[in-house]
Structure 1
Amino acid sequence: MFSAIAKSIFGSSNDRYVAKLQRIVDTINGFEPQMEAMSDDELKAQTARFRERHANGESLDDLLPEAFATVREAAKRTLGQRHYDVQMIGGIALHRGEIAEMRTGEGKTLVSTLAAYLNAIPGKGVHVVTVNDYLATRDAEWMGQVHNFLGLTVGVIVPNIPDFQRKEAYQADITYATNNELGFDYLRDNMKMSREQMVQRPFNFAIVDEVDSILIDEARTPLIISGPTEDKSELYIAVDKLVKQLEPEDYELDEKQRSVVLTEDGTEKVERLLESEGLIEGGNLYAVENTQVVHHVNQALQAVKRLKKDTDYIVKDDKVVIIDEFTGRMMDGRRWSDGLHQAVEAKEGVEIQPENQTLASITFQNYFRMYPKLSGMTGTALTEAPEFFDIYGMNVVSIPTNLPVQRIDEDDEFYKNIHDKFAAIAKEIKARQEKGQPVLVGTVSIEKSEMLSEFLQKEGIEHSVLNARFHETEAHIVAQAGRLRAVTVSTNMAGRGTDIQLGGNVDFRIEDELKDMEPGPERDKAIERIKAEVAEEREKVKQAGGLFVLGTERHESRRIDNQLRGRSGRQGDPGMSRFYLSLDDDLLRIFGPDTAFSRLMNKNLEDGEAITHPWISKAIETAQKKVEARNYDIRKQVVEFDNVMNDQRKVIYEQREEVMDADHVSDVVEDFRADTIAGIVTTHCPPGTYPEQWNVEGFKEAVDDVLDLQPPIEDWLNEEEVEQELLIERLSEMADAKMAEKKAQADPERWPLFEKQKMLQTLDYHWKEHLATLDALRQAIFLRSYAQRKPIDEYKQEAFMLFERLLITIREEVTRALMKVRIQQPEPATVPDLPDFITSHFDPLSGDDDTADVDADTGAVMSRLPPRQSPRPEMPEGSGKDEVPAPSSRNAPCPCGSGRKYKHCHGAVA
C-alpha cells in the first residue's frame, strides 16, 4: 500500500533513473547547433579528435554528449533521420551495459548507432548481434552509412564466407553478425592449428538486438560443432519398426516435460520384439551390453510418439527439416543431436544421415559473458528482468515512447474448441477487412497457419500466409501488412526487425515496384506518386482504427504475446489487439487442464459460444508465469552444468593459445615427459612399498609402450637400495638421450612446428572424447537424485576427476607420440585447414532445436555485403583461371602474388 502511494508521488525507480538520463540528453542537445554548423569534412574529423582525446586520458563517459550529438547530425545527413530524445536515453543505457526496453517502432536499430560509435572510438571492436542473416546484412548496409560517414569501418558476418573475409570483418571498428555465427567462429577458432588462422580478436563490447530472444529463448540450448561418426542406419530402421508397433498403454507421454518413457509392460513388449529380431542379447533390455540399443529405443520413442510432422519438423526434398518452435521458421542445415534426427529420418522413411559426435560446444550464456561489456535492446524484457540480472548482471531500463501509446488491448475471447475459435476469427477478420482495417494474425505453428488459411478461404478473404522461408521476402510482406484491407497470417515472431507502417512502407514499395526503372525524371515522378498514395492510404487506415493484431492463441511466454501486440500502435498510431483462446490450445491443454476454470468452461460453454472476462486473461497469465518459471529453471540448469564444462574449456583453450603463440614448446614437452615418467613409476612402484610388491611386468610394458625403451629393469631391481627416485632419474636420462638423438636427425626449423602440431592434435582429440564422456555423464547423473544426492554436485565432482585424467592422458599421448616418431624428410609442412563441420544448436533436455535459422538464399545475402576492405586481385582483362599456374596444393599461396591461399584466390570454385 505504502509503496504504491510512494510510486504514484515519486514515480518508479525506472522513472527516476530515466529522469537522470534526461539531464545528459539535455547536454547532448546543447551541442546540436554546433554540429549543425559544421561542414561534412569537419563532422568526419570529429572521430579522429575523439580518439586523440581518449588516448590522452578522457573516458568514454566524458566524450558521450559530444559523440552522441555527432552521430545524431551524421544520421540526419546520411539517413534523413534525427534521433529522438528517448532514443538518446536508449543509447546511454546501451553504453552503460544495460538493456533498453523500447516499444516496437521506436527505432532501436538507429539507437544502436549511438553506443556502437562511442565504444568503437578506442579501436577494440564493437559487435552488433542480430537474430538472422538478413537483419545483420541489412543493418550493416543501412546503419553503416552513418559509421562510414564518420570514418569508421563496418564489417558483416554471414554463413559460407571464407575465413579471410571473416577476419577482415572482425578487424572492422563495428561488426554486424548473428549470435550463431559469432559463437561458431569462437569454437572454430579454438580448433585451429595456428594463430594466423583465427578470425576473431579479443572481445570488447557487444550490443545484442532482440536480446530476449538470443539470451533467453535460445539460451536453453548450447551451440555445438560436430563431426560424423559411423553409419548405423540399419539399426535406426529396425528399432523404428518396433516402436511403431507400440500401443498407447505401452508408454507414458508427458507433454509438459516433453518426455516419453516406456511403461513396465511396454518394456517387456520391447524386449520380446528386440529379442525376436536378434537386436539384444540375453533378453534383458537394460543389460550393460545392450546400452546402445536402449539409447536407440529412447530416441525412436521421442521421434515417433512425441515429435509431430508439420509442427516440430517438415519433410522437404526428402530431408527432415527442423521448425523453430519460437519463430515457425524452417532451419535448413540444423540437425537434432544424439541420434534424434536419425530416428526422425527413419520414422519418415527418408535417407538417414550419419550420427554426429560433439567436437566443441558452448552455451550463449557463457559465450556472451566473455564480453567485458554487454548490452541489449528489445521491445519486451521486463518480464525476464530478474534472469537478465542473475545470469548476465544487466539491468533492464524501460524507455518511454516518443508519443503516447493509443493502442487498445481488449480482453481475450474464450471458446470451447479450436473449430469454434477459428470460425469466429474468420468472421471477425472478414468484418475488419470490409471496414478497410488491416489485420495481422499471429499463430504459433505452420500447421495452425495453414488450418486458419483454410477457414479464411471458405469466407473468401484474400490474405497472405507467411511460413517464413526467406527472411528478405518475409520482411517485404510484413512491411506492407499495414495497408488498407491487408490480412497477414504469420508466426508470432515473423517479421522481426521490420516496421509495420500504416498505409504501407514507402521504401519497400519503391524497391518492389521500381527496381527495374532507371534513375531519372520518370523514376522521381513515380516515387512522388507512391509517397502520395501511401500518405492518403495512411489516413484511411487511421480512420478505420489502425492495425488490428489478432492472436490465435497465447504463447508459453508473455513476451512473445507482447511482441505481437507491439506491432500495432507504433509512434502514436491508433490500433487494437485481441487474443482468441480455446481449451484445445497447447498452453491450456498441457498446463491448465486441472484448474477449476477449465472444468467450469468445459461444462458451461455451448458450441460456438464465446466468453470474455478479465478473469480469463488473468488465469491465462498465471499459466504463462508457471511455464516461464519452468523454462527459467531449465535454462538455469543448463548454465549450472555448462559452468562446470566452461571452467575446463577455458583451461584447454588457454593452453591451446599458449602453444600456438609460443616459438617452440620444447620446455612443455620436457615437462610432459618428466611427469609421464614419474606417473609410470609411481603407478607400478608405489611409494612406501617394497620392491617385492612392485608390478614389474606392468612397469616394463608401460615403459615400452609409452617411452619406446627397453631398459635393464631387472638389473636395476637387483641393486641394493633401489628406490623410486633412482628409477625416475635413470628413465629420464634414457628418454632425454633418445629425444636428443631424434632432434639431431630432424630439421631444426621443422621440429618445433612438428611438436606444436602434435601437441594441438592430441589435445583436440582427447578434448573431443572428454566432451562425449561429459555428455554421457550429464544424461545419467540425474539418476543420482534417487539416492538423495544433488545431481549438479555429483556432476562437478566426477567431471573434475575426469578432467584430471584428461590432462594425464594428454601428457602421456604427447610423450608416446614423440618418443615413437621416426625421423624422415617429408614434404614441406603446412598448417591444415579445418574441414566443414556440422553446426547445431539443440536442447539437451528436450531435444528441441531453437537455433536462429540460416538464410537459405545465401546468394542474396552475399550480394548485399559491403565491399571487402582489400579485394581479391583481378587478372588482366581477357585472362582466366587457367592462365595462373595451379600450385601443388590448393592450400599453397596463389601464384598471382595476392598473399592468399590458391583455393581462396584464383583457385576459388565459381
Structure 2
Amino acid sequence: MIKQAVTNFLGTKFERDVRKIQPIVDEIHRHEDRLKHFGEEELQAQTEKFRRVIHERTHELAEKIAELKETKKRTESASDRERMAMQIGQLEPELHTATQEVLDELLPEAYATVREACRRLMNKDIVVRGHDMQWDMVPYDVQLIGGIVLHQGKIAEMATGEGKTLVATMPLYLNALPGRGAHLVTVNDYLAKRDSEWMGTVFEYLGLSVGCLDATEPGTAERRAAYECEITYGTNNEFGFDYLRDNMVHGLADRVQRSHNYAIIDEVDSVLIDEARTPLIISGPVGREDNKRYGEFNAQVSGLARKQARLVNALLAEAEELLGRAEGEEGDQDAWYQLGEKVLLAHRGMPKNKKLAKLLQEPGVRKIMQRVEADYMREKRLHELEEDLLYSMDEKGHQVHLTDQGLDTLSPKDHEAFVVPDLSQVFHEIEKDESLSTDEKRAKIAVQEREYAEKSEKIHIIHQLLKAHTLFERDTDYVVENGQVIIVDEFTGRKMAGRRWSDGLHQAVEAKEAVTVRGETQTLATITIQNYFRMYDKLAGMTGTAETEEGEFHEIYGLEVVVIPTNRPVRRIDQDDVVYKTKREKYAALLDEIERNHTRGLPILVGTTSVDTSETVSRMLRRRGIKHNVLNAKYHEREAEIVLQAGQPGAVTIATNMAGRGTDIKLAAGVVKCSVCAIDAQQPSFGRFREEADLDGARANEFGCNDDPPCGLVILGTERHDSRRIDRQLRGRSGRQGDPGSSLFFLSLEDDLMRLFMAERLAKIMDKLGAEEGEVITHPWVTKAIERAQKRVELTNFEARKRLLEYDDVMNQQREVIYDLRLFALEGGEDLKGEVWDMIRDAVLTRFDEYVPETEHEERWDLAGLKNRLLLEFFLHCPELPDENSLDTALEWEDRDAVADYAVERAETAFKKKLEDFGEEAERILSYIFLYTVDEKWKDHLYDLDQLKAGIYFRAWGQKDPLVEYKKEAYEMFVDLMGDIRTTLADRLFKAQMMPPQPMRTPRITRVSGPTLDTTDEGYAPGAAAPAARGFAPTGVAASAQAGPPTGVSDAAAAAAGVPAAARGPSTLVTNRGEGPAPAKPVSTGDKVGRNDPCPCGSGRKYKKCHGRPGSPPL
C-alpha cells in the first residue's frame, strides 16, 4: 500500500525517466526554431561543423594512441611492448569518455538537424526495394525521447507502429560523427536492406554514407566497403559471423570489420534473448563419415517407438479398468494408487498420447498421478517403475532415457552390445599383467579404446534417433522441403535454412524422415550472441516488448529499459482468456469467433505457435468456406504480400508467431469508424490537449466500444506462448498509432504450457470448479495460474541462457587470447617477431625443464637426451652438451641456469639465421606458420572443449559443481594448448626451408573440391600471386593434406594443392545460421583415420598426437 502511494505521488520509474529527458526535448525545439531559417547548404554543413568540434576535443588523445600503436609495432623488446599495451589500454577508455561528453553536448543541435532534414524532405519521391514512395515522416516528441534513450545506451520500449525505424536515425547520425562507425542490427535481411535504403535518404542528405551487409557477399571488397561506411545496417548473424570470419583469414587485407563502437539492435529482445540460446558457429567437415549408421539404426529405433506405443495403450486400458473399480468401490485406496501408477507410467512413456489426455480429464486422476510421482521421487524409486517401459521421456527437460528392457529389445542376442567398459579399470588390469610385453600391452589398450569408441558411438546414435522420434515433431520443430530437414524458429515461426542441430541430432531427424543424411561437422569458430554484442563500446536497443525481461537485460548486458509513452493512447481492448477442457472445444469456439468478426467486416489475425496448428486452423476454415491467408515457415516467401492484405475489411490471416516480423498491419479505409475514438478521448495524446470524441459515452457503450470494439484489427491467439513477451508482441500487432482493436486468447487444458507447467494447480482448480465438457472457464484462478506458469518457463529459459553464457565466458577469455595472437600474425612487424621469439624461447625452456628438472641433482640431469631432443624436434645443434656415449658428464655444467641460457642462446642464434635466410619473405613466412599453427591447434581445442562440455554435467552425480569443474579443466586444457602451439611453432619454423620456384607446366584445367572455379596452371586464379610467391615450405607440412596456403596464395591454388577448407579460410565453410555454402566433401580413397581416433599403430595415443603429427613417418 505504501509503495503504491509513493508511486501515485512520484510516478512510475518510466514516467520519472521521461520527465528527466523532457528538458533535452525542449532544447531540441529551440535549436529547431533557429535551423528553420538556414539555407539548404547551411543545414547540410552542420555535419562538418559537428565533426570539427569532435576532432578539436579528442584529436590529442587519438593521435597519442595511434603513435603508441605504431611504436609498439616496431619495438622488439617484450617488456616495452607490454608497457605500451598497458598505456594504450588506459588511454582508449579516456578517448571514449571524452568523445561521449562531446556527443552529449552536441545531441540537441544534432537531433534538431535531423528533424529539420526530415521536414525538408517531405513529399520527396524515393525508391525503396524497387517500390516508389514519398518521404512523409518527421519525428514526434515521443520519437525524440526514444532517440535520446538510445544515445544513452539504453533499451527503448516503444509500442508497435510508433516509428522505431525513424527513431534510430537520430542516435545513428550523432554516433557516426566521430568516424568510428555506427551499426543498426536487424532481425532479418529484408529489414536491413529496406531500412538502409529508406533511412539512407536522410543520412545521405546530411552527408553521411550508408552501407548494408546483407546486400553484399561475405569476405568481399563490397562487404568491407559496407563496414567502412559511417552507418552500417545488417542482421545480427552477419555481424557475428563476419567477426568470426575475420579471425580465420590469412591476410590483414581480408578482414572486413573495424572497431565495435556503437550499435542499436532492432527487436532487441528477439536478438539478445530469443536467439541467445544458440551460439554462432562456423564449422567444417569432421574426419569421419558415419552417416550411413543413422539409417541403419533408424529402423530399430522406429520399431522400438511403435512397440512402446502398444505398451502404453495396454497400460491405459488397464488404467481405465482400475478407474471403474476405484469409482465403484469408494474408499478403495489400493485401486486408486494402482491407477496412479499405470497413468504415471503411461505419462512417462508417451506424454502426448490422446487416450492419456482424455483419461487425465477425469476427476481425481491427474491428482493421484502427481501423488504417486511425488512418492516415487521422494523414495528415489522412479527408475524402478520406469523399467517396465522401453524408454522414459522428460518433456520439460527435453530428455529421453533408454531402459534396460529397451536395450534388450534393440539387441536381444547380445546383452553386452551396449555395455561400455570402464577403461580405467581395464587399463589398470592390462598394466598389471606381467605376462604381456610393452608392445602387447599397447596393442590390447588400443583394442579396448576402439571397442569403447565403437560402443559409445553406437549408443550416441541410438539416443539421438530416439530423441528425433519422440521429442521432435514435423511441422512444429522442423519442416521437410526438397529432401531437406529445415529447422523452424520457435519464436518467429521462420524457417532457418542452413542451420543444423549439433551433436548428430540433425542427422537423426534426417534418418527419421528418410531424406539424405548429411555429414556431421566440427566447430572451427564460435561465439555467443551475448559475448559478441558485449564487445561494443556502447550498445542500445529498441523493441515493443522489453519490460518483462528487464532483469535479464540488466544482469547480462548492463542495459536499462525505458518505456517510451505512445504518441496516441492505445485503443486496443485486451479481453480475458477463455479456457476449454479440450482442443476440439477450443477450436470450435475459435472458428465461431472468426466467423462472427468476419461477417462484421473486421480484419482478423489468428496467432499460432506452430506450423502444424496454423495448418489445422486453415483446414477448419476451408471447411467453413472462409477465405484466408496463411503465413508460416512454409509460405514465408509471400510475407510482404500477406501482411499488406491483412488490414483489409473481413481479411483473415493465420500467422505463426507473427511477433517481430517488422512490418505493420495498416488498416484499410472503412475498418476504423470514427476519426476520434471515444476510448482515445478519455486521455490526451502525448503532449496534446484532450480531443472531442465522435461518440458520447452512452453511444460508445451501445456500440460495444469498451468491451467488443466494432472496428479495428482483431487478434485471436490459439494458445499462450511459453513467454509473456511473445504474447504481448502478438497483441501489439493491433492498436498501432491509436488504431482501435481487440485481442483474445483461446486456450485448452491440453495445450503444452497448461499440460507441462500447470498440471498440479489445474487439477485442483478443475475439481473445485467442476467444469463440464464444452463449458468455458474464465476464473481469475486460471488466469493467475497461466501467468505463474509463464513466469516459471521464463525463469527456466533465463537460467539456460545464463548457464550458456557462464560456460562461454570461459571460452571467451581463451578466444580473446587466441584472436590477439592471430592479430599479431596479421599485422606483422617487430611485434610479430618478438611474439614468435617469446614462443620459441618458452618451447625450448619447456624441453629443458623435462630433461633438467629443478628438483633433481645434477648427476641425474639428462643433458644428452636434451641435446638429442632439441636436435630432432627443433633442428638445434648444441655441441657443448654431452652425447650419450660421451665421457663428459653433467658435472661440467654445475649451474642449471647456465644450461638454460646456453640452450636459449643457441635457439636465438638459429632464429636470427632463419630470418636472414628468409630475407624479404621473412615476415610473410612467420605470419603464415604462426596463423596455420594457431588455427590448427585452436580447432582441435574447440573440439576437445565440446567433448568436455558434453560430459561435464555427470560430475554433479559426484556432488561437484559442473561449472567449476569445467572452468578448472578448460584452464588446464588451455595451458596445454598454449604449450602445444609454442612447441609446434618452433618445430615448424626451424624446419621451414626456402625452395626454388616451381617450373611452369602446360596449362590445364584443375578440378577443386569446393565452389566451382575455373583455374589454370598450378591452380592460381587470374590475378593471384605467382608460384614464386610460395617459395618456402615447412618440412613435413608442404606434403601434408592439412597444410594451409601462404599469405597471398589464392584459394583455388590451395585447393589444387589439396588444402582443406578449414586451412584456406572461411569462404567455403558453413555456419549454423545459413550463411555460406555447405562444405564440399573431399574425395575419399579409403578409410580415413580421424584426428582424435586411436592411432592404428597401436601406441594407445590419439592419431593427431602420434602418426598424425606433421613430419611423422607414414604408417
TM-score, scaled relative to structure 1: 0.85
Q: Which amino acid aligns with 2:780?
A: P
Question: Do the aligned partners of residues 736 and 46 (structure 1) sit closer, same or farther apart at CA in structure 2, a change above 3 Å counting?
Answer: closer
3-state SS in 2 of match to 1:816 = helix
Conserved? CA contact 2:411–2:417, under 8 Å: no
**1:83-130 CA distance string (max 9 Å, x none):** 111111100000000100011111111111111111111111100000
Aligned partner of 1:32 in structure 2 is 32
Q: CA RMSD in A?
A: 2.8
Matches within 5 A, 1:421-436: 421-436=586-601
Q: Which of the numbers 958, 964, 971 marks the counterpart of 1:787?
A: 958
Alignment of 1:291-440 (within 5 A): 291-440=456-605
The structure 2 residue matched to 1:227, chosen from 262, 279, 284, is 284
> Which residue is equivalent to 2:1095?
none
Aligned: 1:657 with 2:862? no
Q: Describe the SS at the equivalent of 1:777.
A: helix
Aligned position for 1:880: none
Query: Per the alignment, do residues 679 and 80 of structure 1 end up closer, same or farther by CA in structure 2, a change over 3 Å counting?
Result: same
Aligned to 1:194: 251
667-676 vs 651-660, which deviates more?
Answer: 667-676
- Secondary structure of the residue that 1:750 maps to in structure 2? helix
Quote the residue 1:167 is aligned against: 224
Which of 223, 233, 253 is matched with 1:176 structurally?
233
Please list, as runs of the form range in 1=range in 2, the aligned pairs for 1:15-30 lying within 5 A after superposition: 15-30=15-30
**2:48 equivalent in structure 1:** 48
Measured in 2, the distance between the counterparts of 1:473 and 1:504 equals 23
Structure 1 position 771 matched with structure 2 position 814: no
TM-score when scaled to structure 2?
0.69
Contact 1:441 1:490 (8 Å CA) reproduced: yes
From 247, 258, 261, the counterpart of 2:398: 258
Q: What displacement does 1:39 show?
A: 2.9
- Distance in 1 (alpha carbons) for counterparts of 2:413 and 2:826: 54
The match for 1:600 is 766
Per the TM alignment, residue 236 of structure 1 is displaced from its structure 2 partner at its CA by: 2.0
- The 8 Å contact of residues 649 and 670 in structure 2, kept in 1 or not, is answered as no
**What SS is found at the alignment partner of 2:920?**
coil
Partners of 1:242 and 1:273 within 8 A in 2: no
Q: State whether structure 2 residue 676 is matched by structure 1 residue 544.
A: no
Determine which structure has greater relative contact order: mean sequence separation of CA pairs < 8 Å that are 6+ residues apart, divided by chain length.
Answer: 1
The answer as to 2:807 corresponding to 1:641 is yes
1:800 and 2:967 matched: no
Q: CA deviation at 1:593?
A: 1.8
Report the residue type matching 2:967 in the other structure: K
Preserved CA contact (<8 Å) 2:157 2:564: yes
CA displacement at 1:31 relative to structure 2: 2.4
CA distance in 2, matches of 1:33, 1:687: 79
Structure 1 residue 691 displacement after superposition: 5.2
What is the match of residue 241 of structure 1?
A: 299
Matched position secondary structure for 1:358: strand
Alignment-derived partner of residue 986 in structure 2? 815
Structure 1 window deviating more from structure 2 (33-42 vs 88-97): it is: 33-42
Letter in 2 for 1:123: G
Q: Which stretches in structure 2 are left out of the alignment for 5+ residues?
A: 58-100, 122-134, 309-348, 350-388, 422-446, 672-702, 998-1026, 1031-1046, 1052-1064, 1078-1115
Partner of 1:615: 781
Deviates further, 179-188 or 489-498? 489-498
3-state SS in 2 of match to 1:151: coil
Compute the displacement of 1:293 (Å).
Answer: 2.7
Residue pair 1:314, 1:321 contacting (<8 A) in 2 also: yes
Give the AA of the match of 2:406.
G
* Comparing 826-835 and 599-608, the one that deviates more: 599-608
Task: Give, as a single letter, the amino acid of the residue that structure 2 aligns with 1:263.
Answer: T
CA distance in structure 2 between the partners assigned to 1:602 and 1:490 by the alignment? 36
Structure having the higher Rg: 2
2: distance between equivalents of 1:663 and 1:559? 52
Mapped partners of 2:218, 2:952: distance in 1: 40
| Structure 1: distance between partners of 2:794 and 2:418 | 45
| In structure 1, C-alpha distance between the alignment counterparts of 2:944 and 2:448, rounded to whole Å | 27
SS in 2 for 1:397: strand
SS of the aligned residue for 2:260 comes to: coil
CA deviation digits over 1:190-224, x for unaligned, max 9? 11122211000011100000000101111111111
- Counterpart CA distance in 2 for 1:208 and 1:617 is 33
Structure 1 CA distance for aligned equivalents of residues 145 and 911 of structure 2: 65
The alignment partner of 1:503 has SS state of coil
Query: How far 1:285 moved relative to its partner?
Result: 12
Rate the CA distance shift 1:47–1:725 in 2: closer, same or farther, 3 A: same
Letter in 2 for 1:670: W
Q: Look up the match of 1:762.
A: 933
Within the candidate set 1041, 1048, 1056, 1:831 is matched to 1048
Provide the rounded CA distance (Å) in 2 between the counterparts of 1:134 and 1:497. Answer: 9
Q: How far is 1:741 from its partner?
A: 4.9
Q: Distance in 2 between matches of 1:258 and 1:371?
A: 34
C-alpha distance 183-117 of structure 1, shift in aligned 2 (>3 A): same
Q: Equivalents in 2 of 1:10, 1:46: separation in Å?
A: 39
Instruction: Give how far 1:673 is off.
Output: 2.1
d(CA) in 2 for partners of 1:101, 1:736:
60
- 2:155 maps to 1:99: yes
Partners of 1:701 and 1:298 lie apart in 2 by: 50
Instruction: Tell me by how many angstroms 1:685 deviates.
Output: 2.7
Q: Which amino acid aligns with 2:291?
A: S
Deviations 1:803-828 (A, max 9, x none): 11111100000011112223312421
Helix, strand or coil at the partner of 1:16:
helix
State yes or no: 1:678 paired with 2:845.
yes
Q: Which residue of 1 aligns with 2:326?
A: none
Change (3 A) 1:403 1:654: same
Tell me the CA shift for residue 740 of structure 1.
4.9
Offset of 1:166 from its aligned partner?
Answer: 0.8
Q: Distance in 2 between matches of 1:337 and 1:274?
A: 30
Matches within 5 A, 1:485-496: 485-493=650-658, 496=661
Letter in 2 for 1:260: V
Question: Aligned with 1:330: secondary structure?
Answer: coil
* Correspondence for 1:514: none
Structure 2 CA distance for aligned equivalents of residues 105 and 495 of structure 1: 12
Following the alignment from structure 1 to structure 2, what is the Cα–Cα distance between the partners of residues 273 and 484?
67
1:66-105 equivalence runs, <5 A: 66-78=109-121, 79-105=135-161
C-alpha distance in 2 between matches for 1:795 and 1:404: 52
Once the two structures are overlaid, the 10-residue window that deviates more, 154-163 or 188-197, is 154-163
| Mapping of residues 838-857 of structure 1, within 5 Å | 838-841=1069-1072
Task: Please say if residues 470 and 855 of structure 1, whose CA atoms lie closer than 8 Å, have aligned partners that are also in contact.
Answer: no
Q: Is the 8 A contact 2:185 2:233 kept in 1?
A: yes
Q: CA deviation at 1:659?
A: 2.2
Q: Does residue 1:457 correspond to 2:500, yes or no?
A: no
- Secondary structure of 1:59's counterpart equals helix
SS at match of 2:515: coil
Whether the 8 Å contact between 1:98 and 1:397 is mirrored in structure 2 is yes
Change (3 A) 1:697 1:294: farther
**Alpha-carbon deviations, 1:759-797, whole Å to 9, x = none?**
111011111111111111112111111222111111111
CA distance in 2, matches of 1:75, 1:207: 20
Counterpart position of 2:666: 501
- Cα deviation, residue 364, structure 1: 0.9
Gap change, CA 1:706 and 1:606, over 3 Å in 2: same
Alpha-carbon distance in structure 1 between the residues aligned to 2:16 and 2:1076: 42
Which residue does 1:713 correspond to in 2? 883
Partner amino acid, structure 2, of 1:836: S
Cα deviation for residue 798 of structure 1 reads 1.1
**2:793 matched to which residue of 1?**
627
- The answer as to whether partners of 2:604 and 2:715 remain within 8 angstroms in 1 is yes
Secondary structure of the corresponding residue to residue 720 of structure 1: helix
For 1:811 and 1:438, locate their aligned partners in 2 and report how far apart those are by CA, in whole Å: 67
SS of residue in 1 equivalent to 2:542: strand
Q: Deviations along 1:157-191, whole A, 9 cap, x unmatched?
A: 11635521111000111100100100000010011
Q: Which amino acid aligns with 1:679?
A: T
1:28-59 per-position Cα deviation (integer Å, ceiling 9, x unaligned) = 12223323333332221111111122223371
Name the SS for the 1:749 alignment partner: helix
In 2, Cα distance between equivalents of 1:701 and 1:236: 49
